[in-house]
Amino acid sequence: MEPVRIKGGQVLVAAVTLLGCLLAGCSAGYPSDVSSAAPTAAAAPTPSIPPDGITLAALGYLNGPIQMFSLPRAAVITAKVDQPNNVAAVVSAPSPAEMRSYFVRALPAAGFEITADRPEANTLIFVGHGWSGSFIGNDRASAVLLRPR
């Protein structure tokens, strides 16, 4: 019997699929750590991207909240998914703590609400612009996953 050989593209697809499953599992069961205020009658602020950020549109994404969601400009993307029902980026740099810190600062300014924040686990859950998202990082990589609500 010959050994099974997996091509590089299949490994990437498998890794991104596994990442999506992990992120979906990480988003389950976390109670909200951030208090949410009731919506007010005032007009919502215009979403803004920090100067050290870059939009998904500028990174070549075609799906998701491409003008409202950003990554740190220094992000090194090692894998990405760009589909109407699933947008993801696997990032090798900056560190997970720096990525989380960027999102804590950038997401509210861009019109997203952080619904769970676990700094010790480098994990965030957020919603906005018709999308739900999660971020998770470890010592090897970070990943952000966006799905339509």
Residue 59 inside a domain? The answer is yes
pTM strictly above 0.95 = no
pLDDT, tens digit (0-9, with 9 covering 90-100), for 87-108: 999 999 999 999 999 999 999 9
> Among all chains, which residue has been given the structure tokens 């299949």?
10
Average pLDDT in the 1-13 region?
44
Does any domain span residue 7?
no
Question: What pLDDT is attached to residue 46?
Answer: 66
Distance of CA 33 to the CA centre of its chain: 18
Q: Report if residue 29 sits inside a domain.
A: no
Residue 111 falls inside a structural domain: yes
Mean pLDDT score of the chain, rounded to an integer? 81
Query: Which residue would you say has higher pLDDT here, 38 or 74?
Result: 74
Question: In 3D, which of 76, 90, 84, 70 has the Cα closest to residue 16?
Answer: 90
Alpha helices for 28-140 (secondary structure H): 96-109
Do the Cβ atoms of 130 and 69 come closer than 8 Å?
A: no
Residue 71 falls inside a structural domain: yes
Long-range contacts of 5-11 (CB under 8 A, 24+ apart): none
pLDDT band at 47 (very low <50, low <70, confident <90, very high): confident
Under the banding of pLDDT at 50, 70 and 90, the label for residue 27 is very low
In a domain, residue 17? The reply is no
Return the percentage of the chain with pLDDT > 90, whole number.
68
Q: Taking Cα atoms as reference points, which of 107, 113, 96 lies closest to residue 149?
A: 113
* pLDDT band, residue 32 (cuts 50/70/90): very low
Question: Residue 74 has what pLDDT?
Answer: 96
Q: Is the pLDDT at 62 greater than 90, yes or no?
A: yes
Decide if 14 is inside a domain. Answer: no
What is the tally of structural domains in the chain? Answer: 1
In a domain, 74, yes or no: yes
With a pLDDT cut of 70, the percent of the chain lying above it is: 69
Residue 121 in this model has a pLDDT that exceeds 80:
yes
If one compares 43 and 107, the residue with the highest pLDDT of the two is: 107
Given a cut of 90, is residue 10 above it in pLDDT?
no
Domain ranges, residue 115? 47-148
